[in-house]
Amino acid sequence: ASSGLIVSFGEMLIDFVPTVSGVSLAEAPGFIKAPGGAPANVAIAVSRIGGKAAFVGKLGDDEFGRMLAGILKENGVNGEGINFDEGARTALAFVTLRADGEREFMFYRNPSADMLLKPEELNLEVIRSAKIFHYGSISLIVEPCRSAHLKAMQEAKDAGALLSYDPNLRLPLWPSPEEAREQIMSIWEKADLIKVSDVELEFLTGSNKIDDAAAMSLWHPGLKLLLVTLGEDGCRYYTKNFHGSVEGFHVNTVDTTGAGDSFVGALLCQIVDNLSILEDEAKLREVLKFANACGAITTTKKGAIPALPKESEVLHLLNG
């Protein structure tokens, strides 16, 4: 358990997932609702393992928005920073993993409530009380929410929070790869903590050789910790003074959705009350082992939010 507030900022949405696996969206016989959105997943991940989390973002004033706010509340996430926009609709996504291994997406965001968040609507009280402010939105490019996002990050930093960043790259949502890279790097340069997947690192460096040199090529002077997640192989970590890797756990994986968010939530929760861990390699490795365990457990159940572990499950995997 931790007591410092982790504010996770961005979108919460509903994924509609086919009732059977391995079909295209057009072939799906039906869909089930799976609440998600990386920033919301992170907030719930923190809360499940005993941390203090708030979610800040905008939801539609519709059945889906109310359902999502209810899920945050049930999970103990502070929702004072949620805006409801009259007339705006909650973001929806239709998502499937086809038999050929390709992911197929269709978003309902034209525009959705999260994209309509305005800078003047931000709950600054919640944002300024963050010890760690986590940003992981997929909507960095769209106005008016882009201005709101930039303001929220600045307000949190000015109030003394660490800025944590997960680019959550969804290339099809960007006008061009160049623009995605440029905009992601503009946040990257301000972040204290960054988590990327190996695939994102490949994209950002433009090289398919993912090694320490590639990771370090994206280092910036203010950065305190860079994490590269490697799926079942765990993660690599880089700080100013040391770097290395921490092995993952072998589990019975059924669906990897939310693994990265679970990993981030666990990491933030473990360091929020003691940021000096970032300078202590042995302690940091313990934290990353815990975060790898959280990510691994999340892959053993379908969906993101239902699969996020409680602290007791994590301890069981670590000690079992």
Contact 262, 136 (CB under 8 A): no
279-298 residues in contact with ligand ADP (CB under 6 A) are: 292, 295-296
- In whole angstroms, what is the distance from residue 248 CA to residue 230 CA? 8
Please, what is the end-to-end C-alpha distance for the chain in angstroms? 20
User: Interface with ligand ADP includes 232 (CB under 6 A)?
Assistant: yes
Segment holding 118, helix H or strand E: none
Catalytic residue (choose from 166, 261, 273, 280): 261
Nearer to ligand ADP, 64 or 165 (CB): 165
- In whole angstroms, what is the distance from residue 121 CA to residue 114 CA? 12
User: Interface with ligand ADP includes 231 (CB under 6 A)?
Assistant: yes
CA 108 to each of CA 94, 95, 146, 258: distance values in angstroms, whole numbers, following the listed order:
8, 11, 18, 20
Q: Please list, residue by residue across 124-154, b when 16 or more beta carbons sit within 10 angstroms of its beta carbon and e when fewer do.
A: eebbebbbbbbbbbbbbbbeebbebbbbbbe
User: Interface with ligand ADP includes 234 (CB under 6 A)?
Assistant: yes
In the residue annotation, 166 being an active-site residue is answered as no
Task: Write each residue from 260 to 279 as x if it is in contact with ligand ADP (CB under 6 A), else as -, in one continuous string.
Answer: x--x----------------
3-state secondary structure of 94: strand
CA 295 to each of CA 21, 170, 311: distance values in angstroms, whole numbers, following the listed order:
22, 20, 12
Nearer to ligand ADP, 25 or 251 (CB): 251
Q: What is the sign of the dihedral through the CA atoms of 52, 56, 61 and 64?
A: negative
Of the ranges 9-17, 24-32, 60-68, 253-261, which one interacts with ligand ADP (CB under 6 A)? 253-261
User: Interface with ligand ADP includes 164 (CB under 6 A)?
Assistant: no
Q: Which of 67, 251, 317, 318 binds ligand ADP (CB under 6 A)?
A: 251
Task: Write each residue from 181 to 210 as x if it is in contact with ligand ADP (CB under 6 A), else as -, in one continuous string.
Answer: ----------------x-------------
Of the ranges 112-120, 217-225, 250-258, 305-313, which one interacts with ligand ADP (CB under 6 A)? 250-258
Catalytic annotation, residues: 261
Which stretches of the chain bind ligand ADP, using CB under 6 A?
197, 229-232, 234-235, 248-249, 251, 253, 256, 259-260, 263, 292, 295-296, 299
